[in-house]
Structure 1
Amino acid sequence: MRLPLLAAALLAAAPALADLPDLGGRAVTVVTENAYPPLQFIDASGAAVGWEYDAMTAIAKRLHLTVSYEHSSWDAMIPAVSAGQFDIGMTGITIRDDRKEAVDFSRPYMRSEMVMLVRGDESRFSDAASFAANPDLLMAAQPGTTPFYVGVYDVLDGNEANPRIRMFETFGAGVAALRAGDVDLVLTDGTAGEGYVAASEGALKIVGEKLGTEDFGFIFPKGSDLVAPVDAAIAEMQADGTLAALTKKWFLDYKLGE
């Protein structure tokens, strides 16, 4: 599998590093969906694993945090973090201005490109325009996500109630519907898309041109004093190669389903 754009993962040269603060074992609760491989998911043994878990472990070690994890659905996560129910949220969350009204973001830790994930034998369309032109074709999406909005405004007609978009609670459920033939397209960033293609043994593929880029960040309640320390830790991890090593582990070496 080729290294995705996001897997280059350094985004830009890291700023000059300052000494990281010692947070003295401070207890922090991180909420995640566990449904977005290889960022975070439940593996075949039942363990919660992924790129973001490893990154958070490294951040906690550098800042001397004591981390515990909770699970949330995607649609409840941003409101829950905004309300202060959790200290940090992680689930491949795209940094967007509208979301900044509810939560604070860390600096970007990863960049991805949006791609079109289809069945391996798909021949009815090969890009966004040919998908949009066939009214019989259906798209899976999670409401409120970047793929949903890209599907509505960049692929289809701008109608958020378009019946060609079938809603699913998790990204994995949408992919399962794609494989079963219930929908014909899943829009996703290269993060999950390339991971699913690599694990599918030809059952899935990516078609068409990239539909744009997005930066991922961790989220915090507004005004959180954790943002600056976490930003400093991310910058250090970009500079010393830790993020690149995690990307190699999860995007090149790891095989989903093993």
Structure 2
Amino acid sequence: MTSLFSRVSAFPRLLVAVAALFISSVSLAADLPDLKGRTILAVTENAYTPLNFVDPATGEGIGWEYDAMNEIGKRLNANIEWHLSSWDTMIQAVKQGQYDVGMDGISINEERAQQIDFTIPYMTSQQFMLVRADEDRFSDAASFAANDDLYFGAQAGTTNFYVAVYDVLDGDENNARITLLDTFGASVQALKSGDVDSVLMDAASARGYIGANPGAFKLVGGPLGSEDFGFILTPDSDLVAPINAAIRSMKADGTMDALNKKWFFDYNQ
């Protein structure tokens, strides 16, 4: 049994630990650039649960990326002004300077980095095969590829699409076994209704869809590679360094871990 003395003795140590954490957080914030109330035009799609999507109760955009970017704005003394764009026009719109920063679970790769600037990674994830809960015709990527009657649902130009093409199927981007849909959410709905047989997605989003649709989906097989997500910015943007600094501070003080817990484990849509 813990004695009263030991509990009392531990209390000052707890206060010291809390104070140290507070001082560390304040120090991190003090070291960040001050953007002096600058307005940052942020754009997303609202179709990639739980990173960005529409709250069914309010009709407002919510998600991990909303919370993260709003927190970045607070730390940098900047105002985040939100806008919407379809996935297929987002990168070009940011490249042309219509928006300052874009996000949609965008994987960092060389081809995209030739068009726009990336921040440092804010999340690392792996691709998995989401299927209907009663699926028993295949159990992994190899058995899926071997059955010509099985189809993927995907958005053109996304990591999910390219992994389906090059890591699972035959490397032909025109393969008829990939049904192209306008949004990521539409791909999941096509899976749910039986129009396609699998949708590839990162583990974070898979947990979100499984949690939001109890008994509807499951994952099969192992991971099909990993990817780093980054925010995209207009080439040579002066916001890259400040946002990177804010991301580092959020990783250091536990904010990123708290967002992961909130959106990937605690939230049920």
When normalised by structure 1's length, the TM-score is 0.92
**Alignment partners' CA distance in 2, 1:76 and 1:192:** 22
Aligned to 2:50: 38
Cα deviation, residue 67, structure 1: 1.1
Q: Given the alignment, which residue of 191, 195, 200 partners 2:208? A: 195
SS in 2 for 1:36: coil
**Alignment partners' CA distance in 2, 1:44 and 1:31:** 20
Aligned to 1:225: 238
Aligned to 2:5: none
Cα deviation, residue 200, structure 1: 1.6
The answer to whether the aligner puts 1:242 opposite 2:255 as a matched pair is: yes
Aligned to 1:142: 155
Query: How many equivalent pairs are there?
Result: 241
1:174-185 aligned at under 5 Å gives the runs 174-185=187-198
Q: Given the alignment, which residue of 177, 186, 203 partners 1:164? A: 177
**Alignment partners' CA distance in 2, 1:36 and 1:177:** 15
Structure with larger RCO (C-alpha < 8 A, sep 6+)? 1
| Gapped regions of structure 1 (runs ≥ 5) | 1-15
The answer to whether the aligner puts 1:212 opposite 2:216 as a matched pair is: no
Aligned to 1:128: 141
SS in 1 for 2:117: strand
Any runs of at least 4 consecutive aligned residues in structure 1 with deviations exceeding 4 A, and if so which? none
Q: Percent identical across equivalent pairs?
A: 60
Q: Given the alignment, which residue of 35, 45, 70 partners 1:23? A: 35
Aligned to 1:13: none
Greater Rg over alpha carbons, structure: 2
**Alignment partners' CA distance in 1, 2:137 and 2:241:** 48
1:80-91 aligned at under 5 Å gives the runs 80-91=93-104
| Gapped regions of structure 2 (runs ≥ 5) | 1-26
Residue type at the aligned position of 1:157:
D
SS in 2 for 1:224: coil
**Alignment partners' CA distance in 1, 2:126 and 2:211:** 17
**Alignment partners' CA distance in 2, 1:117 and 1:173:** 14
Q: Given the alignment, which residue of 136, 144, 155 partners 2:168? A: 155
Residue type at the aligned position of 1:20:
L
Pairwise CA RMSD = 1.1
1:42-121 aligned at under 5 Å gives the runs 42-45=54-57, 46-121=59-134
**Alignment partners' CA distance in 2, 1:67 and 1:197:** 30
The answer to which structure has the higher helix fraction is: 2
When normalised by structure 2's length, the TM-score is 0.88
**Alignment partners' CA distance in 1, 2:220 and 2:150:** 15
**Alignment partners' CA distance in 1, 2:53 and 2:139:** 29
**Alignment partners' CA distance in 1, 2:187 and 2:265:** 24
Residue type at the aligned position of 1:206:
L
**Alignment partners' CA distance in 2, 1:183 and 1:43:** 26
Residue type at the aligned position of 1:112:
S
Cα deviation per residue 1:122-173 (whole Å; 9 max; x = unaligned)? 0000100100000011100100000100000000000000000000111110
Cα deviation, residue 66, structure 1: 1.1
Cα deviation per residue 1:87-122 (whole Å; 9 max; x = unaligned)? 000111111111000000001011111000000000
Residue type at the aligned position of 2:32:
L
Cα deviation per residue 1:197-251 (whole Å; 9 max; x = unaligned)? 1222111000001001111110001100000000000000000001111111111
